[in-house]
Structure 1
Amino acid sequence: MSETLQNNGVTTPFASDADLLAQTALVVRAAGAAALERFGNVVRYQTRDELMSALAANDDAVLDILRPRLEALRPDARWVSEELDGGALPAGEWWVVDPVEGNVNHLHALPDWAVTATLVRDNQPVLTAVHVPLTGETYTALAGGGAHRNGLPLHVSGTTDLGLSIVATSQARPDEDEKVVRRVGSSITEMLVDALVVRISVPATLHLLNVAAGRIDAFWQFAGGRADLLPGALLVAEAGGRITDTEGHPWTLASDGFLAAAPGVHAAAVATLSR
């Protein structure tokens, strides 16, 4: 049963993780509606400053809904303000959000974008909610409680042959270090040899939703921020997939590579990415 606490005279939910996830899903859906209202026309820009301003305007409009509502749900949880940042967090609870995951797609009137919110406790994702406004799909996962799309259970694919697999990768951020860019290019070449089809697009979260739903069989990325990997990592793990770095070692927020795969193709994907 949920408890309540008094916070400056306001009664605030102090929910179980399952209750908190349900409320978080409502928040990302409300925030997604705000992002959807801004979607439809290509936003033109001539300079990097104009691009950054347009991206920030989208983020701010959605954060105006996300941040106060999530902070009300978990008043003591701290807030990660930079979605491209990576690495481990200090101990305790943190909200890791991406108000418009795939923001550059949103600006170009492309459909691949979503709103995400993940609660991280001592560097482990506890719960996540991802809303895709254009499809009306809300993906949720609770550590130890499974992964769902609109309330229905998700399961990764049963594929066992990488040669019959659809796999995907993504560019972690603009202006990536040249060594990382060349590593990405080499890995794509290797996967083009070994897999059936390779999909290459942003953002990472949309690919990871597809892995969790069994639509594609593996996703990998080099580098990357917390906000683009944590939601999908929890969803895939709770849907029965394997999460490691690209060499097959346990993945952490400090890892420089990430692999999410159906169990039947994980070892082959590691072998390909390790060449």
Structure 2
Amino acid sequence: MTVSDQQSNFAVGSKSFTAVAINCAAKAGEWIKTKLGNYTSLSLKYSAQDLVTEVDKGSETMIRNLIHTHFPDHSFLGEEGVEPGPEASEKALQRVRDAEYLWIVDPVDGTTNFVHGFPFFSVSIALSYKGEVIVGVVYDPMRDELFVAEKGKGAYVRGRRMEVSSDAALSKSLIATGFPADPHYALPMNMKGLQALVPQVRNVRSGGSAALHMAYVASGRLSGFWEFGLNSWDLAAGALLVTESGGKVTDTKGAPYDLGVRNVVATNGHIHEEMLTALAKADAAG
């Protein structure tokens, strides 16, 4: 099923919010794909692992302009409009999180992969209403896979309803994590968790796009995902995908997900408590 076919399926939100999100993700994703191996500028942001190209900035500008064409009064929070580092991210979110309608966008989630030509990156677009995510879209342009969720209406990929995996124990689970750009706190904490969880699970993957990891939990390809030091634009769309597919999303200490969560655990629900307990036992819950 093509992106255009899916647009007609999901043009059901109030004022077609979902259709706009899908259109933005599809257009940005197709443009990003044409730039693979063809970007011209590369710079560092917060650390040597935190990269940005003109493609990230161009994608965000395209998405912002398209959204504001339809909804000029809506607020917008995009990764490239925020100074690097966790403090700046938190401040940027605080300024807009109570807006009536807030679009939360990661224009290229997986920039490091994009820079290296590793075909695992995505466009993540979420819409929150008074602080609660009501639409989430994650688009993988390399596989032409569009993951879409509307609050209360389920989540879909390629037009099919998604369901989380049925794995009932960590020992039967394939899970994922990432390696945070923050070398002082988030990375060491994640490494502690990795050391604790690897012997307890079937295996661990690290694809390099938190939004796609969450989409893969939603679609049952992974049974769990955790990572430290993420931002609202990494998580907002993916969190709705997971919950609308029957899964569970909390912070690493078990508190319910909200836009301010930076340290996340997202699972099929069945292994959630076991995963939280394993992280806590390893002193890897933050």
TM-score normalized by the length of structure 2: 0.82
1:103 Cα deviation (Å)? 1.4
**Following the alignment from structure 1 to structure 2, what is the Cα–Cα distance between the partners of residues 106 and 240?**
31
Alignment of 1:100 with 2:108, yes or no, is yes
SS where residue 264 of structure 1 aligns?
coil
Match of 1:12 in 2: none
- Aligned mate of 2:233, from 227, 238, 252: 227
- Aligned mate of 2:145, from 121, 130, 137: 137
Alignment of 1:128 with 2:136, yes or no, is yes
Contact 1:20 1:73 in 2 (8 A): no
**Following the alignment from structure 1 to structure 2, what is the Cα–Cα distance between the partners of residues 271 and 103?**
32
**Following the alignment from structure 2 to structure 1, what is the Cα–Cα distance between the partners of residues 207 and 139?**
19
**Count, aligned residues:** 257
Alignment of 1:79 with 2:87, yes or no, is no
| 1:60–1:180 distance in 2 versus 1, CA, 3 Å | closer
**Following the alignment from structure 2 to structure 1, what is the Cα–Cα distance between the partners of residues 122 and 234?**
11
Alignment of 1:191 with 2:197, yes or no, is yes
Of 210-219 and 76-85, the range deviating more from structure 2: 76-85
Alignment of 1:58 with 2:66, yes or no, is no
| 1:82–1:27 distance in 2 versus 1, CA, 3 Å | closer
Contact 2:39 2:54 in 1 (8 A): no
SS where residue 36 of structure 2 aligns?
coil
SS where residue 235 of structure 2 aligns?
helix
Max Rg structure: 1
**Following the alignment from structure 1 to structure 2, what is the Cα–Cα distance between the partners of residues 247 and 64?**
35
| 1:81–1:211 distance in 2 versus 1, CA, 3 Å | closer
SS where residue 144 of structure 1 aligns?
coil
Percentage identity across paired residues of the two chains: 27
| 1:106–1:43 distance in 2 versus 1, CA, 3 Å | farther
Match of 1:7 in 2: none
- The one-letter code matched in structure 1 to 2:25 is V
Contact 1:129 1:231 in 2 (8 A): yes
Contact 2:231 2:261 in 1 (8 A): no
Q: Which runs of 5+ in 1 are unaligned?
A: 1-14
Q: Can you list the C-alpha shifts for 1:206-245, whole angstroms capped at 9, x where unaligned?
A: 1111100001100011121011111110100000001111
Match of 1:241 in 2: 247
Alignment of 1:12-23 (within 5 A): 16-17=13-14, 19-23=16-20
Of 79-88 and 202-211, the range deviating more from structure 2: 79-88
1:138 Cα deviation (Å)? 0.8
Match of 2:28 in 1: 31
Match of 1:167 in 2: 175
**Following the alignment from structure 2 to structure 1, what is the Cα–Cα distance between the partners of residues 153 and 248?**
16
SS where residue 250 of structure 1 aligns?
coil
SS where residue 167 of structure 1 aligns?
strand
Q: Which runs of 5+ in 2 are unaligned?
A: 1-11, 282-286
**Following the alignment from structure 2 to structure 1, what is the Cα–Cα distance between the partners of residues 78 and 174?**
34
| 1:42–1:105 distance in 2 versus 1, CA, 3 Å | farther
